Chain A
């Protein structure tokens, strides 16, 4: 054992004033008594009978000296050498992914991992520094290059596991960045080894792995989706068994908390069981799938997060589209035929003047017409002139080498039979993605310009046979769905916890209030046409409320843990980083465990004993403060009368 702050022992000199105080007996309070005769006799008898009374009389002094000694020794930071996993410059990657919620730890894996990191901190030798990185979907540094153990403990205590997968690539990049300027860094990964099967890069310096977890007993709902078929909504649910034993599972489906169906299935180890439900009511609703143990008294598995999943069935909302044109029968007919669309038309008057309604529309289609100023919303230009978003040049006629670029907006698009007489040259803006081009000039492009979405066709529809081709409704349907999505988001698609969701805002939304499954409310005042929502850490369904004035409408989206890497909670004894296989290490380095806490606790205990001894002597305590009885003769009423 040695002292990390040996100069602190100099404080033992404080014992001198304590001893002096006792030697000078400064603590004795003088009290007058009528006679000391009986007291002297008593004390003579007592001392003769009990020689240890002298020691007992000084018990308080001894206790106070012991308290001082314990405090001074704890201040001097005594430490014993221990064998530890890491010391020096240490980076700890603490896995906080969903699988760390498994209840095969103390009580969870994350708690066990946290305890292991606490021990690492305790065993750090003096001069060591530790960086703590919490590995979630968005890894972040809890505390950087810190040698102060209380701060490290405090930062660690504030960490909690997430409900989603972890981004190990980003976490290792963060760790590599943290140890860039430090030589001989030891990186300690505290995890159950579920790194989602991704190939992880090697890390500089020494890497050690502290595995946590012991059980692989887990079943999960690995898929739960709803789609609209010809016969109405159709639900698909799939349960997977990641355990090494067959398991009987009770699979239940609820619609708005009302049980639709429940069945008990036996799933062999490593196998899946799928179930499809038809004949569902054609009405919006929130579906919930749940797996549980047929025996209510025994838990199904060790990870609860993936035992429940939600699916949303939501009717698409109707979009308002304004066609500004001098007349285009093809477009008008097409808009009238597309689902969930309410088209409006604005025509120039006899003088050629345009009157754009002030009511907001979800999409403006400007067919050869350029209102000034441009309406405030998503825009689809057809044969435009130069405008605020891009410049348009001279027409060109010979369109050769037409190329359709691969893009979600050109999906199922057959352009081979489309002929265009002429188009206009246009330098595509930086924000735009070119969908179709001819001789390096764009024919169709789209993109997000500032806060709105813009698409353009650089030719007049009347100068082509596109309206007569199959490509016409496909292209316009894709473009309109992109520019003004049928819902604010795709409610039928669930996202993973922690994954961000882009919400296209209705043109009239003044506020967007999102409520999480636990009731947490996020209030947004939209500044642009879309909103990226990132607080999706909880599994369950979220309610998105679009508010305009006194009216509002709600949409829902589901967050489900459909991640085989997280649901497969089998603990791994090895990690593969680059070409290096990292396994659980023996305690290889010499650390130091400080003992000051124990000494401080001892000092506190001694202080309590000293307090009790003092008060036992002073009983009854109130009389110690206000001694009575011993009064000189001046209190005699007789004398007062005489005065």
Chain B
């Protein structure tokens, strides 16, 4: 995974934004909205039985003879999860517009931001309705090269079954976090059930919808037999200008359905044609949409 130094520098300056911050097991660089056990003072409150005596302010007790518990700013880490659709349909497009390559670049970019921010980053490849490989949670920039090596080993293949793959992920003992789902969503059964499960577990979901330009406007014409590269299913079609226009309308409608569904559930949805450079997507599109800052 080759990043230019400039891009990396720019990515390091960014932070992932989670609207509902979730406490983590480790102290992170992220300031929590809850009072916690960091070193920065926030406030005092009366002692109540059961409180951790280590957090009693003995100096105040000596002066006032009343026990007070010292409240400190609680700094926490964020669990960042990258769920990458690795189905065969992602193996589409040419060069930089190849969808799976594009997804890996995005994952690397987001992973760089997360690791630079001290978040707990994990990544999973979703294939054939299950998790075919994973990058175990890691922190710190030292894990960056390991992340890149992991991403480089990934290969697309198999069918798309997002619902079952997401349920499989939820069955694992993962703490809630910021979940990025990178997929073309070309799954006849959809992914609503899986997303609902993710949200139910307290995750905050960002849906990165990746499509190649020729999926949005196919440059095809004539009497064709379309062959699905995932399952070899065929579809006969006599393609003329009118049908092409109808197809474009169908794609627009499908994307609007996804968008409205996501909005209803509080999922941030970004449509990403692979003709748009991935780094620009992170540096501009995601910034504008509040995914990073």
Contacting pair B240 A38 (CB below 8 A): no
Q: Which of A27, A617, A627, A635 has the most CB of B within 10 A?
A: A617
| A57 partner residues in chain B, CB cutoff 8 A | 238
The answer for the CA separation of A274 and B214 in the assembled complex, in Å, is 93
Mask for B181-214, Cβ within 8 A of A = 1, else 0? 0001011100000000000000000000000111
Partner of A40, one of B215, B235, B254: B235
For B98, what are the chain A residues with a Cβ–Cβ distance below 8 Å?
A: 633, 636-638
Q: Is B51 an interface residue (CB 8 A)?
A: no
Q: Type the 1/0 row for B206-231, where 1 means its CB is closer than 8 Å to any CB of A.
A: 00000011110011111111111110
Taken residue by residue from 87 to 131, chain B's Cβ proximity to chain A (1 for < 8 Å, 0 otherwise) reads as 001011111001111000000000000000000000000000000
Is B86 positioned at the interface, with any CB of A under 8 Å from its CB?
no
Q: Does A297 contact B (CB under 8 A)?
A: no
CA distance A134 to B5 in the complex (A): 96
The answer to whether A633 touches B224, judged by C-beta atoms less than 8 angstroms apart, is no
B225 touches A41 (CB 8 A): no
Name the distance in Å between B61's Cβ and chain A's nearest Cβ: 64
User: Which chain A residues lie closer than 8 Å to B212 at the CB level?
Assistant: 34, 629
| Binary flags per residue of A596-624, CB closer than 8 Å to B gives 1, else 0 | 00000000000000000000111111011
- Which of B95, B229, B241 contacts A33 (CB under 8 A)? B229
- Cβ of A23 under 8 Å from chain B: no
**When chains A and B are docked, how far (Å) is the Cα of A34 from the Cα of B93?**
9
Tell me the complex Cα distance, A185–B100, Å.
89
Contact at B225–A34, with CB atoms within 8 Å? no
Q: Is B60 an interface residue (CB 8 A)?
A: no
A333 CA / B187 CA spacing, docked (Å):
131
Partner of B237 from the list A35, A39, A627 (CB cut-off 8 Å) is A39
Smallest beta-carbon distance A18→chain B, Å = 14
Contact A636 to B101, CB < 8 A, known contacts A34-B186, A36-B228, A630-B214: yes
Residue contact B225 to A619, C-beta cutoff 8 Å: no
- The answer, yes or no, to whether A42 is at the interface (CB within 8 Å) is yes
Q: In the complex the two chains form, is A37's CB within 8 Å of B186's CB?
A: yes
Q: Which residues of A contact B236 (CB under 8 A)?
A: 25, 28
Instruction: Choose from A32, A42, A635, A637 the contact partner of B247 (Cβ within 8 Å).
Output: A42
Question: Whole-angstrom distance between the alpha carbons of A157 and B19 in the complex?
Answer: 92
- By beta carbon, the residue of chain B nearest A628 is B219
In this complex, what residue of B is CB-closest to A33? B226
Known: A635-B94, A636-B91. A30 touches B224 (CB 8 A): yes
A631 within 8 A of B: yes
A111 to B79, CA, bound (A): 98
Q: How far is the CA of A445 from the CA of B256 in the complex (A)?
A: 121
> Contact at A34–B184, with CB atoms within 8 Å?
yes
Q: Is A7 engaged at the interface, CB distance under 8 Å to the other chain?
A: no
Chain A residue with Cβ nearest B101: A638
Contacting pair B224 A28 (CB below 8 A):
yes
**B219, A623: Cβ atoms closer than 8 Å:** yes
Q: Is the CB of A618 within 8 A of B222?
A: yes
| Bound complex: CA A57 to CA B254 (Å) | 26
Q: Which residues of B contact A43 (CB under 8 A)?
A: 235, 237
Partner of A616, one of B92, B100, B240, B251: B240
- Complex Cα distance, B233 from A621, in Å, reads 27
B247 & A619 in contact (Cβ 8 Å cutoff): no
Q: B34 → chain A, closest Cβ, in Å? A: 44
Nearest A residue to B246, CB-CB: A42
**Which of B188, B214, B225, B250 is A42 in contact with, Cβ under 8 Å?**
B250
Candidate in A33, A45, A621, A636 with the most chain B CB atoms within 10 angstroms? A33
Across the interface, do A38 and B254 meet the contact criterion of CB distance under 8 Å?
yes
B241 to A627, Cβ gap below 8 A? no
Report how far A31 CA is from B235 CA in the complex, Å.
Answer: 10
CA distance A169 to B178 in the complex (A): 114
**A407 within 8 Å of B by Cβ?**
no
With a CB–CB cut-off of 8 A, which chain A residues contact B225? 25, 28-31
Decide yes or no whether A51 CB sits under 8 A from chain B: no
Chain B min CB distance to A490 (Å): 81
CB-based contact B220/A629 at 8 Å: yes
Q: Is B36 an interface residue (CB 8 A)?
A: no
Chain A positions within 8 Å of B229 at CB level: 32-35, 632
Q: Which residue of B lies closest to A42 (CB)?
A: B250
Name the interface residues of B154-191: CB closer than 8 Å to any CB of A.
156, 160, 184, 186-188
Q: How far is the CB of B229 from chain A (nearest CB, A)?
A: 5
Question: With a CB–CB cut-off of 8 A, which chain B residues contact A627?
Answer: 219-220
Rounded to whole angstroms, the CA-CA distance of A37 and B92 in the bound complex is: 15
B221 touches A39 (CB 8 A): no
| Partner among B184, B213, B239 whose Cβ is within 8 Å of the Cβ of A617 | B239
A46 within 8 A of B: yes
Residues of chain A in range 37-71 having any CB-CB distance to chain B below 8 Å = 37-43, 45-46, 57
Q: Which residues of A contact B230 (CB under 8 A)?
A: 34-35
Judging by beta carbons under 8 Å apart, are B221 and A38 in contact?
Answer: no
Measured CA separation A35–B226 after assembly (Å): 9
Chain A residue contacts of B227, Cβ below 8 A? 30-33, 36
Residue B234 at the chain A interface, CB threshold 8 Å: yes
Given A43-B237, A616-B241: A35 and B221 within 8 A (CB)?
A: no
With A and B bound together, what is the CA distance between A129 and B210 in angstroms? Answer: 79
Q: Is the CB of B250 within 8 A of A41?
A: yes
- Are A620 and B221 interface neighbours, CB within 8 A? yes
- Residues of B within 8 Å of A34, CB to CB, are 89, 91-92, 99, 184, 186, 212, 215, 228-230
The docked-state distance in angstroms from the alpha carbon of A435 to that of B233 is 113
Known contacts A34-B186, A633-B156, A638-B98; is-contact A28 B250 (Cβ 8 Å): no
Measured CA separation A621–B222 after assembly (Å): 9
B39 to A: closest C-beta gap in Å:
46
Interface centre among A616, A633, A638 (most CB of B within 10 A): A633
Question: Across the interface, which residues of A come within 8 angstroms of B184, CB to CB?
Answer: 34-35
| A residues in contact with B222, CB < 8 Å | 29, 617-618, 624
A621 to B219, CA, bound (A): 11
- The 8 A CB mask of A386-407 against B (1 = contact, 0 = none) is 0000000000000000000000
Cβ B223 vs Cβ A27 within 8 A: yes
Beyond A28-B223, A623-B220, 6 extra complex contacts between A and B, CB < 8 Å:
A35-B184, A36-B234, A42-B243, A42-B246, A617-B222, A630-B218
23 sample A-B contacts, Cβ–Cβ < 8 Å, listed by A number: A25-B225, A30-B225, A31-B224, A31-B227, A34-B92, A35-B160, A36-B226, A37-B187, A38-B251, A38-B254, A39-B237, A43-B237, A46-B243, A57-B238, A616-B240, A620-B221, A621-B221, A623-B221, A630-B214, A630-B218, A631-B93, A632-B91, A636-B101
5 residue pairs, one from A and one from B, having the closest CB atoms: A629-B214, A34-B92, A617-B240, A35-B186, A633-B91
